């Protein structure tokens, strides 16, 4: 497992980007709010750059430990996904979100992302 992004750790949020068996894995736990908007944006920019450079087929995003995400951080995901949409079709990669069914905002917010880019996004809310 290689860390691509200097792991971010604050009182509210911890975030990592790693390569696991040739797949990019983003993991966020805690709370993503106004204080970490820039960090989330940088993290997703790094992920996109790495995913396009390595021609990965899929990025996994594990939000199962994310208690809350505000609209500014949510918008960073929207921007990231729109960047993937703008790639040539052959260069686009899929994004799989792992969500926690017990954290109820995740279902609604990830459903909104899925409506925004249905062809790119898969949501797995079964594994824990």
Partner 1 sequence: MPFNRRRGSLRKDDDLGFCELSFQRRPELVSIVRRFVSDFYDRTLADPDASSRVALATHELLENAVKYARDGQAKVRIEVSVQGRSAHIRIRTHNRAAPEDAEYIRRTISEMRLSSDPNLYYLDVIRRNARRTEGSGLGLARIHAEAEMDVSVKCGAKGAVTVIAETDVQLSEAAVTARGVA
| Residues in 42-101 at the binding interface with partner 1, rule: CB under 8 A | 68, 70-72, 74-75, 78-79, 81-82
Any contact of residue 8 with partner 1 (CB under 8 A)? no
**Residues 46-85 as b or e (16 or more Cβ within 10 Å = b):** bbbebbeeeebeebbbbbbebbebeeebbebbeebbebbe
The C-alpha atoms of residue 123 and residue 76 are separated, in whole angstroms, by 18
Nearer to partner 1, 49 or 82 (CB): 82
Decide if residue 31 touches partner 1 (CB under 8 A). yes
Give the footprint of partner 1 on this chain (CB under 8 A).
12, 31, 33-35, 68, 70-72, 74-75, 78-79, 81-82, 104-105, 108-109, 112, 115-116
């Amino acid at each position: 497992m290689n860390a691509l992004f200097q792991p971010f750790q604050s009182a509210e949020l911890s975030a990592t980007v790693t390569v696991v068996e040739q797949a990019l894995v983003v993991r966020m736990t805690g709370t993503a709010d106004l204080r970490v908007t820039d960090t989330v944006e940088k993290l997703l920019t790094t992920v996109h750059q790495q995913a396009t450079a390595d021609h990965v087929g899929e990025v996994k995003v594990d939000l199962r430990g994310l208690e809350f995400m505000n609209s500014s951080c949510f918008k960073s995901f929207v921007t990231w996904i729109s960047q993937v949409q703008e790639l040539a079709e052959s260069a686009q990669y899929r994004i799989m979100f792992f969500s926690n069914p017990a954290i109820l905002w995740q279902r609604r917010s990830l459903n909104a992302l899925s409506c925004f880019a249905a062809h790119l996004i898969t949501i797995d809310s079964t594994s824990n």
